[in-house]
């Protein structure tokens, strides 16, 4: 019987990682950690302080100066991200924040800065941590590693439906082309590229409902818990 189960869930954009991981954690009583929020908070905070996130050196110097104290706090088991004691949880969810996050996440100094912080959350707790490099870099010895994906066309359709639901006008072909570009960039960047860990279980959710995807992952974790 394992006491602490650390589950790493990695995968490409639009695979439904965060919603699926959050629900799995809720059902299992584990802490859910969304590591993308950390990159988003750094990107937004740099931008607010007029640091050009395309300038890796300036961004690195800003971080090294101790200007950013970033924390995750768990309120009713829900993660909130704080920068210098201010709650950034809502403002990191804009399209601009996604772009800033994507940019800072390619900066090796930013990745190094966040590494120990991410590891510290998983030290004493059963967690489900989602990101791009959790199984490969952050928690290479995680008890369970899942690489969650779905076919690009299905991920693009989900993203397109989300935009339409929000009242944002969108074109499916453009959404699909953007997603293919993000996949390419994420998996070809020099630092911690998105890739399936050798010992990760591949879960492809194409054609599955949300409930089916959650059940599949909860089953994998329960099997490990009962060992």
Q: Which residues contact 55 (CB under 8 A, 6 or more apart)?
A: none
Q: Does residue 107 belong to the site contacting ligand DC (CB under 6 A)?
A: no
Which span sits near ligand DC by CB under 6 A: 20-28, 126-134, 157-165, 171-179?
Answer: 126-134
The minimum distance between CB 105 and ligand DC, in angstroms, equals 3
Among 6, 40, 145, 155, binds ligand DC (CB under 6 A): 40
Q: Is 132 in the site for ligand DC (CB under 6 A)?
A: yes
For 89, the 3-state DSSP assignment is coil
- Tell me the C-alpha to C-alpha distance, in Å, between residue 96 and each of 15, 144, 224: 20, 33, 39
Please check whether residue 187 is in contact with residue 136, taking contact to mean a CB–CB distance below 8 angstroms. Answer: no
Q: Any idea what DSSP says for residue 91? A: G
Least Å from the CB of residue 146 to ligand DC: 14
Report the distance separating Cα 10 and Cα 224, nearest Å: 18
Q: Is 102 among the residues that bind ligand DC (CB under 6 A)?
A: yes
| E strand intervals along the chain | 6-10, 31-34, 70-75, 78-83, 86-87, 127-131, 144-149, 201-204
Among residues 105, 126, 149, 213, which is the contact residue for ligand DC, using CB under 6 A?
105
Which residues on adjacent β-strands are paired with residue 144?
7
* Among 25, 83, 101, 127, contact with ligand DC (rule: CB under 6 A): 101
What is the nearest approach in angstroms of ligand DC to the Cβ of residue 40? 5
Q: Which is nearer to ligand DC, 162 or 223 (CB)?
A: 162
User: Within 48-67, which residues bind ligand DC (CB under 6 A)?
Assistant: none
Interface with ligand DC by CB under 6 A: which residues?
35-36, 39-40, 98, 101-102, 105, 131-134
């Amino acid at each position: 019987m394992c006491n602490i189960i650390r589950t790493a869930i990695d995968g490409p954009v639009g695979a439904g990682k965060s919603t699926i991981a959050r629900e799995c954690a809720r059902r299992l009583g584990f802490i859910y950690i969304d590591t993308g929020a950390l990159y988003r908070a750094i990107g937004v905070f740099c931008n607010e302080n007029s640091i050009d996130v395309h300038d890796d050196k300036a961004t690195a110097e800003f971080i090294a100066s101790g200007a950013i104290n970033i924390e995750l706090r768990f309120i009713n088991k829900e993660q909130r991200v704080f920068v210098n004691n201010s709650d950034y949880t809502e403002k990191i969810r804009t399209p601009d924040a996604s772009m800033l996050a994507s940019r800072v996440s390619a900066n090796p100094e930013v990745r190094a800065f966040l590494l120990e912080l991410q590891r510290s959350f998983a030290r004493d707790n059963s967690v489900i941590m989602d990101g791009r490099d959790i199984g490969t870099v952050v928690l290479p010895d995680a008890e369970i590693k899942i690489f969650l994906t779905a076919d690009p066309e299905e991920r693009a359709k989900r993203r397109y439906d989300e935009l339409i639901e929000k009242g944002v006008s969108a074109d499916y072909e453009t959404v699909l082309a953007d997603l293919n570009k993000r996949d390419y960039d994420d998996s070809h960047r020099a630092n911690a590229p998105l890739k399936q860990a050798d010992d990760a279980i591949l879960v492809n959710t194409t054609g599955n409902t949300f409930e089916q995807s959650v059940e599949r992952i909860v089953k994998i974790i329960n099997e490990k818990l009962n060992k």
